[in-house]
Structure 1
Amino acid sequence: MSATGPTAAARGVPCWVTLMTHDLPAAQDFYAAVLGWRFRPGGLGVEFSIALADRQPVAGIGALLPSWQVAVAWMPYFAVDSADETAARILERGATVAVGPLAVGDGRAAIAADRDGAVFGLWQGQTLSWAVGNGSAPSCLELRTRDAFDAAIFYAEVLGWASKEPGSCDVTYEHDEVMVRDGDQTVAALRGGGVEAAPDPHIRPRWHVYFPVEDIEKVTAAAVAAGGTVTPVTPTTVSTGCQAVIRDPDGGLFTVSTSPDVL
């Protein structure tokens, strides 16, 4: 995540996404070939970079430190007033704080996992000019979990969703799905089946990122050529457009979609 920036995101709102990977140069090559991203230093050292599309920040890619016991995955960060207080609330509710909170530039950050094991980040401080659903930033974030309603309670308690305070996210429960909105923009969806089974036995509970693209066939062909895989087929046609699930060579999983309204 960026250490500095021109804005302060509202509390509980997704404010950034980052891929933590084992091989930063290889990841940059893959995403440049597949999504056309360019990269610049992120201000946090040589092991972190910011991806740009049309000169606008899209995401961060960083190298996993040996001491960070987290899997290769795309991970959302949520804006909080206090990383330390939020981390304490996470621990109080039986979840895990894997890294931090620690000072990062002018802010504070932490990496946590919810009670079902889905990994997410906390960020206290200024942010880049970035928002879910804006330009080439992710179209939406989706939590794939075992019990969406229980997850919604957890995140509402630790991030202040549905608190009725100014600027907090609204939450609605619709057809066994929990939708999270920042004003009129849907920024996240929480989806899951029964408590004892994940929605897909091949995918562990996790936050999943959707990136907008114009040409599914071109993107998926480039992903395969660059050493990635497309799961389960390419492309998958849905009512909201075409989508394809891609796994990068290091295991990072994400979805590309031709529709800005993926949910």
Structure 2
Amino acid sequence: MYGAPCWVSLATRELAPAQEFYSTVLGWTFRPDESLGEEFSVAMADGETVAGVAAVTPTIGVAVAWTPYFYVDGADPVAARIWERGATMAIGPMRLGNGRVALAADPAGATFGFWQGQVRHGWRAEDSPPPAQLELRTRDAFAAAIFYGEVFEWAANRPDHCDVDYQHGAVVVRVGQHTVATLRGGGVESAPDPKIRPRWHVCFTVDDVEAAVRAAVKAGGTVTEEPSNGLGGRSAGLRDPDGGLFTVATPLE
């Protein structure tokens, strides 16, 4: 689906420690991705691909972080639309494996990527909800919705594009009946704390939030947001030992 999230990936320093941490906290297994190179691996859960882990921060100079990627059928026009709207192209578009990839930052500074190529099994939004939920916390959710809507052609009234709705003070991006991303206000660009600055939050579903928090702390991670109940269920914010921020959540029944 054009403009829908199609992948999330962790840029980190070393593969083995990252794999050990996320295996402990989220129960993932890992396999190498030969199409991308020896520094890349794919996380698996229940036989499905969930996310990527790439030991690339020392070589390409990016921060340790989880980044969402959105599907496009032409990377160059998307890059041009990003430039035209005063945002930043950080890397690419460039060839990677069997596709083309790019990293960018929106006008408020939140980092995201886009991908031109085959979408991995389990990430086709028209078939099932994505394995990770995405939430952008930014200065102005409506301004962000306009930016991303123009870049990824959301709300284009076409069956192969995402729809946009407004619920509970947030902009909600949908593919059919599936919510694939949520945009909320509240980010502060000048905040010294990266948890508060505008960014895409990547959230993984767990059976027990408290158990995941305990496992993360025991494995060397830290808690950035204590477990709490919200509109979507119970969640907590975590930081892995290398600095990667992510969220775990148990949806409402």
Given the two structures, how large is their TM-score scaled by the length of structure 1?
Answer: 0.88
8 Å CA contact retained: 1:177, 1:189: yes
Residue 23 of structure 1 aligns to which amino acid in structure 2?
Answer: E
Report the counterpart of residue 60 of structure 2 in structure 1: 68
CA distance in 1, matches of 2:216, 2:130: 18
3-state DSSP of counterpart to 2:197: coil
3-state DSSP of counterpart to 1:217: helix
- Whether 2:51 is the aligned partner of 1:94: answer no
> Deviation per CA, 1:222-241, whole angstroms, max 9, x where unpaired?
100000011232x3233543
Task: Return the match for 2:47 from 55, 69, 81.
Answer: 55
Residues 224 and 190 from structure 1, CA distance in 2 versus in 1: closer, same or farther, beyond 3 angstroms? same
- Whether 2:117 is the aligned partner of 1:116: answer no
Given the two structures, how large is their TM-score scaled by the length of structure 2?
Answer: 0.91
8 Å CA contact retained: 1:170, 1:181: yes
What's the offset of the Cα at 1:20?
0.5
Residue 83 of structure 1 aligns to which amino acid in structure 2?
Answer: A
8 Å CA contact retained: 2:29, 2:44: yes
Aligned-residue sequence identity (percent) comes to: 59
Report the counterpart of residue 207 of structure 1 in structure 2: 200
Residue 23 of structure 2 aligns to which amino acid in structure 1?
Answer: A
- Whether 2:23 is the aligned partner of 1:32: answer yes
Structure 1: 4+ residue segments shifted above 6 A: 194-198
8 Å CA contact retained: 2:187, 2:198: no
8 Å CA contact retained: 2:162, 2:173: yes
Report the counterpart of residue 229 of structure 2 in structure 1: 237
Task: Return the match for 1:41 from 12, 23, 32.
Answer: 32
CA distance in 1, matches of 2:231, 2:9: 29
Report the counterpart of residue 219 of structure 1 in structure 2: 212
- Whether 2:242 is the aligned partner of 1:250: answer yes
- Whether 2:140 is the aligned partner of 1:147: answer yes
What 5-or-longer segments of structure 2 have no aligned partner? none
8 Å CA contact retained: 1:220, 1:230: yes
What's the offset of the Cα at 1:201?
7.8
Give the alignment's Cα RMSD to 1 decimal.
Answer: 2.2
Task: Return the match for 2:118 from 97, 103, 126.
Answer: 126
User: What are the residue-to-residue correspondences of 1:149-164 with 2, within 5 Å?
Assistant: 149-164=142-157
Task: Return the match for 1:185 from 178, 181, 184.
Answer: 178
8 Å CA contact retained: 2:205, 2:251: yes
Task: Return the match for 2:12 from 7, 11, 21.
Answer: 21
> Deviation per CA, 1:26-81, whole angstroms, max 9, x where unpaired?
11110011111110011211100000011210000001244534321111110001
What's the offset of the Cα at 1:203?
2.0
Residue 176 of structure 1 aligns to which amino acid in structure 2?
Answer: G
